[in-house]
Amino acid sequence: MIKKVVLLFFILFNLTPLLNSENLIDLSNDMFFYVPYEEHAADYINFYNYLKQWEENKVIINDEKLLKFYKDFAGQKTLHGFIFEAFLRQTKNKNIQKQVLFMIKGYKLDDVFSVILTRLYNSRKKQIEMGDNNQLQYSYNEEYFDENINLFKQNEYLAFKNELGLMLFDNPWTNLSYNSRNKVYSENDSFFLMYGGGTNSMTIHFYKMINIIFEEFKSREIEGKYNAEKYGNWKVQEIEIKGILKKANADKIFICTGTGPDLFPEIESGTFSILLYNEKLERGYSISYYMNFSKINNNFEMRQRIWNHLLMQLIFSFINVK
């Protein structure tokens, strides 16, 4: 056990330079994307599990190590940076919250993330009605709100009777199914997962198309007009199948991104999709994240960073070939 902990610390403290050497894909809307190799993905999983142990008081991170983690991971262009930030936004461990606040005050940190955490950890918890359900919300002086959307805890999820897989964030999702009445699309399937509140909400759209050649899939899904019209910076880019994407069981992979004003002027939204096509199966799949923020949401100033986390999360998608 001791050897494992020592090895883990070696990985964590030597990880950032290794990952920053990756070839980042800079997108037109100030976002980035990269494909990690298997050893980097394994390091990420180790880091994720380590943070879970910290939440459960199974490991101790002293003040010096916490500051190093903050400097090494917060704001960095890595999956590790995203999951570290998501952990600090999601932790309910009061000892960790106090330790983070002590660090922020002691070192006079004034970056955007430290300001957001300070407000969050000093917020009042309350239950709000959302349809037929009650949902947890955090309020800071009734000026800033957090809708408790978890982007840290996650589990493997298989959709369409185990055909399509991803790492799904652990939230109390509302499931909405949709089946087209149009006979042309009768073999397709689609459904949504939804969660969130009035100042921040999230939707995941799953879609599959079967018995379809790639050119038709490209015409209908990749060259679709809706998001291109909605977002002025909408971009579609084919991704080289390398690293962990070799296990995606897809012959063609595209990512799509777009951010900008929503229907209401006080709300900003983003849509991030991955499109996977398997030639042998003649099947195409898409997973699409949508998330919006109002200006009174506590995370509004970090919306671009959180959107980029959703985009990078798509890297763990795969077609489950039996």
Task: Dump pLDDT digits (tens) for 87-125.
Answer: 999 999 999 999 999 999 999 999 999 999 999 999 999
Q: Is the dihedral of CA 225, 230, 234, 239 positive or negative?
A: negative
In this predicted model, what pLDDT tens digit does every residue of 234-273 receive, in sequence order? 989 999 999 999 999 999 999 999 999 988 888 999 999 9
- Tell me what pLDDT residue 232 has: 86
DSSP code for 58: S
Helix (H, G, I), strand (E, B) or coil at 306: helix
Top mean pLDDT of 169-178, 212-221, 295-304 is at 295-304
Q: What is the pLDDT of residue 70?
A: 98
The percentage of the chain sitting over the pLDDT mark of 70, rounded to a whole number, equals 88
| pLDDT value for 153 | 98
pLDDT at 185: 39
For the chain, where do the domains classified as CATH 3.40.1000 start and end? 155-319
Percent residues over pLDDT 90 in the chain: 75
| Under 8 Å between Cβ of 100 and 66 | yes
Which residue has better confidence, 186 or 61? Answer: 61
Residue range 115-139: mean pLDDT, rounded: 90
3 state DSSP class of 291: strand
CA distance linking residue 93 with residue 58, whole number of Å: 12
Confidence bin at 176 (pLDDT 50/70/90):
confident
In sequence order, the 6+-apart residues with CB closer than 8 A to the CB of 106 are 63
Q: Which span out of 7-21, 57-71, 219-233 was modeled with the highest average pLDDT?
A: 57-71
Strand ordering across the sheet containing 252-261 = 174-178, 189-196, 200-210, 283-294, 267-278, 252-261, 235-238
Confidence category of residue 229, pLDDT binned at 50, 70, 90: confident
pLDDT of residue 117: 98
CATH topology of domain 155-319: Protein Transport Mog1p; Chain A (3.40.1000)
pLDDT, mean of residues 156-164: 95
pLDDT at 227 > cutoff 90: no
Q: What's the rounded mean pLDDT across residues 272-285? A: 96
Residues 290 and 270: beta-carbon distance below 8 Å: yes
